Each structure stands twice: as structure tokens, then as C-alpha cells.
């Protein structure tokens, strides 16, 4: 099969094409696994973090990619949930033990034996991918492959963040950063909580215009003050400065949820400017 492999860590500024297209052995399936013919694999900032060593793969060479959608072309003898030609997706969690307290409570990402797709195990930048059936996700017919792939990462972490806010209909919500995850959260909120007012913080005018197009009630830059205090805020940015703005705009007793995005070190010193009356 054909695959894009990462052979060494480095920076994108020094190597703008860090992945190499190669012929690679096609994976075989174990009795509890299915084999996907990959049709789509999304691109995530995590791939950049892997390439540049912020979340380095334990072994190289590696096939990255963890927003995978394809069709089932082979199944192991114990597979019950999928049949040949079914559409399926694979997300960040490639496998976990299934028996520990974390797995039994639906927190497989905390399992000590957790393996990440495209980091600890070969991922979806390839013709085929094998995965245990318990970690494959059925794709509804109303989603095209390219529509479904981002939901397996940006959509999933966005939905988890939304749940962690404890948001209730009639409250208001701030979205700090308006990229892949932020705009999907806005769509979820409009569907699940139609009476929630949504406030979008974004750097660029195009992102703010997109927020209004999707139904945001207010948009502004990260340093701006909202016309009312916010019950909940989800931060999806890779830097620290917006966190201070979010805390300033948060209502007393409100909740700030920092999305599963690694923060960069460049402005971490901003946290030393936390002011109790303004931010806490």
C-alpha cells in the first residue's frame, strides 16, 4: 500500500515537507479487528506537534493521521459490529485495555495502556488501517466522508468541552478562538440550546464574520469586553493571552473550559499578570 511516513523530528520552518510517500506493508487484521480502506484522513494541529516533537511518537518511522474515514474491506473472526463495505471512522484513541477503572467508566484516554492513532500506532495517512472494532465508529449515511473526518477530533473534543461547561439553555457562552473546534461547538449549541447567546472571540475579521454567519450574537477580538458577563467560556486557542481575556469576561461563578489543545510557551508569562479583582 501507499503511505505517508514521518522518519525524523524537526521543524516545519527547516523542512516544509516532513512526510515521505512510500510503499508500505499492508496491515493484517487480528480476530477482533477490521481493516479499513481509507478514503479520507483529516489534518490536525497534533500532527504538527508530533512532527516538531511536542508530543513525539515513541517509535519512528510512523504513519500519522487520526481523523480517519473509510470502508471495511476485511474483518476478523470475532468482529460483530461491522460488516464488509460498512463505513467506519477511527479517532485519536486507537486502543486501550478495556478492563481498568478508566476504561470501565468511559475514560479510555486515561488508560495506562492507551495507544493514540497516528502517534503510538500507525494512523490514517495510508491506503489501509487496521483497528479493533471497539474503537471504530460507524459513520451515519448523511455525512460525507470529508464531513465526518473532522468530527472525530475537532468535533469530539469540542463536544466534550461543551459538556464540561454544564451549559443550560437560556445561559450565554463564549468561544475563545474560532477554528475547527470552535465553529463546530457553535453549531452544536445552536442545535442543542436554541436560547443560548453565543459570543465569539477571534483574531481575524474573516473568523468574526464567519461566527456571525453561523449565528453568533456577538463577535470581537480576544481583548475586547463583552456587553454582558458570560456564564461559560470554552478556550480553543494554542496561547495563554486569551485565557486572561476570558477570565475577565466570565461571570462570578462561571466556568472556563480549556479545550484539549496544547498551549505554546511563548506567552506563558502572561499568567503572571493575573489580577484577583479582574480575573478571579
What is the pLDDT, as a whole number, of residue 99?
A: 96
Q: How many Å separate Cα 229 from the centre of its chain?
A: 27
What is the pLDDT, as a whole number, of residue 107?
A: 93
Q: Does residue 260 surpass a pLDDT of 70?
A: no
Taking only the tens place, the pLDDT of each residue in 32-76 is 999 999 999 999 989 999 999 989 999 999 999 999 999 999 999
Is domain 155-279 annotated with CATH 3.30.70.120? no
What is the pLDDT, as a whole number, of residue 280?
A: 64
What is the pLDDT, as a whole number, of residue 10?
A: 95
What is the pLDDT, as a whole number, of residue 259?
A: 85
What is the pLDDT, as a whole number, of residue 196?
A: 98
Question: By mean pLDDT, which of 31-35, 157-161, 228-232, 257-261 is the weakest?
Answer: 257-261
Place 261 in a pLDDT band, splitting at 50, 70 and 90.
low
Question: 269: which 3 cell numbers?
Answer: 508569562
Rounded to the nearest integer, the mean pLDDT of the chain is: 94
Q: Does residue 266 surpass a pLDDT of 80?
A: no
* Longest distance between any two alpha carbons in the chain, whole Å: 62
3-state secondary structure of 122: coil
Taking only the tens place, the pLDDT of each residue in 102-159 is 999 999 999 999 999 999 999 999 999 999 999 999 999 999 999 999 999 999 999 9
Place 275 in a pLDDT band, splitting at 50, 70 and 90.
confident
Place 87 in a pLDDT band, splitting at 50, 70 and 90.
very high
Q: How many Å separate Cα 151 from the centre of its chain?
A: 8
Question: 212: which 3 cell numbers?
Answer: 456571525
What is the pLDDT, as a whole number, of residue 61?
A: 98
Cα distance between residue 268 and residue 224, in whole Å: 20
Q: Does residue 89 surpass a pLDDT of 80?
A: yes
What fold, for 2-139? Quinone Oxidoreductase; Chain A, domain 1 (3.90.180)
What is the pLDDT, as a whole number, of residue 46?
A: 92
Cα distance between residue 223 and residue 234, in whole Å: 15
CA angle 95, 237, 172 (to 5 degrees): 100
Q: Domain limits of the chain? A: 2-139, 155-279
Amino acid at each position: 500500500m501507499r503511505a505517508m511516513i514521518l522518519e525524523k523530528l524537526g521543524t516545519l520552518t527547516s523542512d516544509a515537507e516532513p512526510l515521505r510517500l512510500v510503499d508500505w506493508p499492508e496491515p493484517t487484521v487480528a480476530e477482533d479487528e477490521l481493516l479499513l480502506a481509507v478514503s479520507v484522513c483529516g489534518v490536525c494541529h497534533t500532527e504538527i506537534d508530533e512532527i516538531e516533537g511536542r508530543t513525539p511518537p515513541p517509535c519512528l518511522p510512523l504513519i500519522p493521521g487520526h481523523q480517519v474515514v473509510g470502508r471495511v474491506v476485511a474483518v476478523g473472526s470475532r468482529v460483530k459490529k461491522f460488516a464488509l463495505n460498512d463505513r467506519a471512522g477511527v479517532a485519536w484513541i486507537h486502543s486501550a485495555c478495556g478492563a481498568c477503572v478508566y476504561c470501565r467508566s468511559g475514560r479510555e484516554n486515561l488508560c495506562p495502556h492507551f495507544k493514540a492513532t497516528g502517534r503510538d500506532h500507525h494512523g490514517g495517512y495510508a491506503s489501509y488501517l487496521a483497528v479493533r472494532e471497539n474503537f471504530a465508529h460507524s459513520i451515519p449515511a448523511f455525512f460525507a466522508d470529508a464531513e465526518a473526518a473532522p468530527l472525530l477530533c475537532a468535533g469530539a473534543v469540542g463536544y466534550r468541552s461543551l459538556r464540561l461547561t454544564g451549559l443550560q439553555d437560556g445561559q450565554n457562552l463564549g468561544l475563545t478562538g474560532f477554528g475547527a473546534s470552535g465553529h463546530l461547538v457553535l453549531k452544536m449549541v445552536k442545535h442543542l440550546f436554541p436560547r443560548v447567546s453565543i459570543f465569539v472571540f477571534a483574531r481575524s475579521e474573516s473568523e468574526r464574520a464567519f461566527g456571525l454567519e453561523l449565528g453568533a450574537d456577538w463577535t470581537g477580538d480576544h481583548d475586547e469586553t463583552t456587553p454582558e458577563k458570560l456564564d461559560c467560556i470554552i478556550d480553543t486557542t494554542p496561547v495563554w493571552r486569551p485565557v486572561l481575556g476570558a477570565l475577565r469576561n466570565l461571570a462570578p461563578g462561571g466556568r472556563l473550559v480549556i479545550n484539549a489543545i496544547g498551549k505554546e510557551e511563548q506567552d506563558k508569562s502572561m499568567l503572571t499578570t493575573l489580577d484577583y479583582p479582574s480575573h478571579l
